[in-house]
């Protein structure tokens, strides 16, 4: 059966780019309403359903938008936590164009959301069952492939010139135990030169070593280094889970990804939904 939150609660933090306070208030929602973000800081409180067709930008994060250029950005870590905890429906009010970055992972979201009781709704849960292989490739070596599967399984491969990251792979079924131990704690990562550039153009005002792993050549600037083994690829898996939940349903699929990101995740969902024979909606 579908589930929503059993009570209202808040999570507070700062926006990565603005550096300004960002508060999220989570509300219970009706069956079949899905995950909906609301810009509570705007007078008319525009709503953004967290589905692939509402994604307006995929540079550095997954960003929902509307025709008025209003946005809610960096939804992927929250979406991943909602997915793994079995939350089908929720209304999430945000007081900033950005959701809180927290520590750059889904660890805080997962731990906080897990404390909130869930309420069962009078409607069967819906799953998106992939029936045919669907692939999106950018022609530059990055691709995502969706294949029929019994649950959500992800095989992700990355290759970076830095020996600190290098070649990393994740291959496994995504369940709550794996998510809590390996995926949720994995922080976003970047090179120092990228940080310097983004700051030079007035972005990442809220960015620090408290919310990202920063690499400088063959050094990690964060005290203590990586938090978990293969943290870099595990963070890409985190993003993938959150992005795949913008299908609007829980997935029954095997996902194979190589050097891909938010753009590729969004494009493969567009391709999946472009042909009705690619998938089936099933209820349990």
Q: What CATH number is attached to the domain comprising 265?
A: 3.30.1700.10
Give yes or no: residues 113 and 130 share one domain.
no
Give yes or no: residues 191 and 113 share one domain.
no
| Structural domains counted in the chain | 2
Given 70, 95, 120, the domain boundary residue is 120
Where does residue 49 rank: exposed (0-12), middle (13-18), buried (19+ CB within 10 A)? middle
- By C-alpha distance, which of 14, 36, 31, 12 is closest to 23? 12
How far is residue 114 from each of residues 26, 71, 117, 166, measured CA to CA in Å?
Answer: 13, 27, 8, 33
- CATH classification at residue 73: 3.30.230.20
pLDDT of residue 220: 85
Q: What is the DSSP string of 14-64?
A: E-TTT--EEEEEEE---TT--EEEEETTSTT--EEE-SGGGEEE-SSS-EE
Q: Any catalytic annotation for residue 262?
A: yes
Give yes or no: residues 168 and 253 share one domain.
yes
Give yes or no: residues 130 and 263 share one domain.
yes
Where does residue 180 rank: exposed (0-12), middle (13-18), buried (19+ CB within 10 A)? middle
Give yes or no: residues 248 and 137 share one domain.
yes
Give yes or no: residues 86 and 163 share one domain.
no
Give yes or no: residues 101 and 140 share one domain.
no
The size of the chain, in residues, is 284
pLDDT of residue 236: 97
Q: State the catalytic residue, choosing from 77, 235, 262, 264.
A: 262
pLDDT of residue 203: 60
The b/e string for 157-172 (b: 16+ C-beta within 10 A; e otherwise) is: bbebeeebbeebebee
Given 120, 135, 154, the domain boundary residue is 120
Written as tens digits, the pLDDT of the chain (284 aa) is: 999 999 999 999 988 777 789 999 999 999 999 999 999 999 999 999 999 999 999 988 999 999 999 999 999 999 999 999 999 999 999 999 999 999 999 999 999 999 999 999 999 999 999 999 999 999 999 999 999 999 999 999 999 888 889 999 999 999 999 999 999 999 988 777 777 766 676 666 666 777 778 888 888 887 888 899 999 999 999 999 999 999 999 999 999 999 999 999 999 999 999 999 999 999 98
Rounded CA-CA distance 13/210 in Å is 12
Give yes or no: residues 114 and 150 share one domain.
no
How far is residue 219 from each of residues 96, 103, 190, 225, measured CA to CA in Å?
Answer: 34, 20, 12, 9
Give yes or no: residues 65 and 176 share one domain.
no
CB 113 within 8 A of CB 59: no
Domain holding 251, by residue range, is 126-283
Given 120, 148, 166, the domain boundary residue is 120
């Amino acid at each position: 059966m579908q589930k929503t939150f059993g009570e209202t609660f808040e999570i507070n933090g700062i926006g990565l780019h603005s550096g300004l306070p960002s508060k999220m208030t989570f509300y219970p929602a009706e069956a079949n309403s899905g995950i909906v973000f609301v810009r509570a800081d705007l007078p008319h409180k525009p709503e953004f359903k967290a589905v692939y067709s509402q994604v307006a930008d995929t540079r550095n994060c997954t960003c929902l938008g509307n025709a008025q250029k209003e946005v809610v950005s960096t939804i992927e870590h929250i979406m991943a936590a909602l997915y793994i905890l079995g939350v089908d429906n929720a209304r999430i009010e945000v007081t900033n164009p950005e959701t809180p970055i927290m520590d750059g992972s889904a660890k805080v979201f997962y731990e906080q959301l897990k404390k909130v009781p869930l309420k069962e709704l009078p409607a069967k849960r819906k799953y998106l069952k992939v029936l045919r292989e669907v692939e999106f490739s950018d022609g530059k070596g990055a691709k995502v492939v969706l294949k029929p599967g019994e649950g959500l399984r992800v095989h992700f491969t990355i290759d970076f010139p830095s020996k600190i990251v290098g070649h990393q792979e994740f291959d496994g079924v995504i369940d709550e135990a794996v998510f809590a131990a390996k995926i949720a704690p994995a922080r976003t990562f970047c090179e120092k030169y990228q940080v310097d550039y983004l700051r030079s153009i007035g972005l990442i005002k809220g960015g620090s070593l408290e919310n990202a792993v920063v690499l400088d050549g063959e050094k990690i600037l964060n005290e203590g280094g990586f938090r978990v083994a293969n943290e870099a690829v595990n963070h890409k898996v985190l993003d993938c889970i959150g992005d795949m939940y913008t299908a609007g349903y829980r997935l029954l699929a095997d996902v194979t990804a190589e050097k891909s990101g938010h753009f590729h995740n969004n494009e493969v969902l567009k391709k999946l939904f472009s042909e009705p024979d690619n998938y089936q909606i099933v209820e349990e």
